[in-house]
Amino acid sequence: MTRLFLAALLALLLSGCQAPLFAVVNARQSSDGVVAHHDIPFHGGLSLDVYAPKDARNAPVVVFLYGGSWKSGKRQWYRWVGEALAARGIVTVVPDYRTWPRAKLDGFMEDTSQAVAWAHRHAGEYGGNTSRLFVMGHSAGAHLALLLATDGRWLQQLGMTPRELSGVIGLAGPYDFLPLTNDSFIDMFGHTPQEQARSQPVNFVDGDEPPALLLQGETDTTVKPQNALSLAKRYEAQGEPVVVKLYPDTGHMRILFALGPSKDKVPVLDDIVRFVEATPRRQ
């Protein structure tokens, strides 16, 4: 993906034309060697898609949570992410989740934890090894992924713990973003400091987390790099494994598009695959 093409995509995004933007990206992605399974119901009328390497056996599994300021997004827009990861040997689950104003924090977390629990139960049917289960997200999706990995109550409601994840991967995620000033975010996360504190992954790191990979663009003005650095500091204070990758000259969307059909030099996909391959399977 050349810089000129990326600039055209960003122009579409800024104009509010998200569906045409992702249609362009999807059209450029090759699906060779990938088997796609679409429209699988998993919870409360929501569905997910699974992208698997052809003839996959005991492959690692990633649940990918898309971003969109907790307000927008569709799993179909992210076919290219599923195919890009599956082409590198990873069974990839892309679920939908309710967004605001249909849902607030508890609804976001209920849906995404249900998607992870579904993957834990069913990924083996698609060639995945659920002892190598990761959750990953971009932007708002990274926030949800890290909250699942740090605040154990969400997965515990479904008979799981964060330690059953082999790892968690966040791309340009907000993890430490109080105080809130936007009215819609206040409605999502709460009006009191106590309510809002529930939404912050940094508040829940207690030494019982899976290993984390935090990827961040140094020139991201939408989600500041301090979010990743603050969360990494909490991990390190607890002696938990964490890797932070800061990419120069990389903004909020470039880090996402580097996952796909790209000639971009930002090694986001390589860093994710390296982390997944190097992380020991859960015992």
Would you place residue 238 in the very low, low, confident or very high pLDDT band (cuts 50, 70, 90)? Answer: very high
What is 117-176 written as a DSSP string? HHHHHHGGGGTEEEEEEEEEEETHHHHHHHHHHH-THHHHTTT--GGGSSEEEEES--SS
pLDDT at 7: 55
pLDDT at 15: 44
Residue with tokens 């964060």: 162
Percentage of the chain modeled with pLDDT above 90: 85
With a cut of 60, say whether residue 177 has pLDDT above it: yes
Would you place residue 260 in the very low, low, confident or very high pLDDT band (cuts 50, 70, 90)? Answer: confident
Mean pLDDT across the stretch 77-90?
A: 96
With a cut of 70, say whether residue 8 has pLDDT above it: no
pLDDT at 99: 98
Q: Which residue has better confidence, 26 or 280?
A: 280
pLDDT digits (tens, 9 = 90+) for 89-107: 999 999 999 999 999 999 9
Q: Which residue has better confidence, 212 or 14?
A: 212
Q: For all residues of the chain together, what is the average pLDDT? A: 92
pLDDT digits (tens, 9 = 90+) for 49-67: 999 999 999 999 999 999 9
pLDDT at 49: 98
Q: Which residue has better confidence, 241 or 28?
A: 241
Q: Which residue has better confidence, 214 or 265?
A: 214
With a cut of 70, say whether residue 269 has pLDDT above it: yes
Of 17-21, 81-85, 273-277, minimum mean pLDDT range: 17-21
Running DSSP on this structure, what letter comes out for residue 89? Answer: T
pLDDT digits (tens, 9 = 90+) for 148-169: 999 999 999 999 999 999 999 9
Q: How many CB atoms lie within 10 A of CB 236?
A: 13
pLDDT at 281: 74
Q: Which domains does the chain have, with CATH numbers?
A: 31-278 (3.40.50.1820)
With a cut of 90, say whether residue 2 has pLDDT above it: no
Mean pLDDT across the stretch 183-196?
A: 97
Smallest Cα–Cα separation from 18: which of 63, 58, 76, 65? Answer: 76
In this structure, the dihedral spanned by the alpha carbons of residues 110, 113, 118 and 123, taken in order and rounded to 10 degrees, is: 160
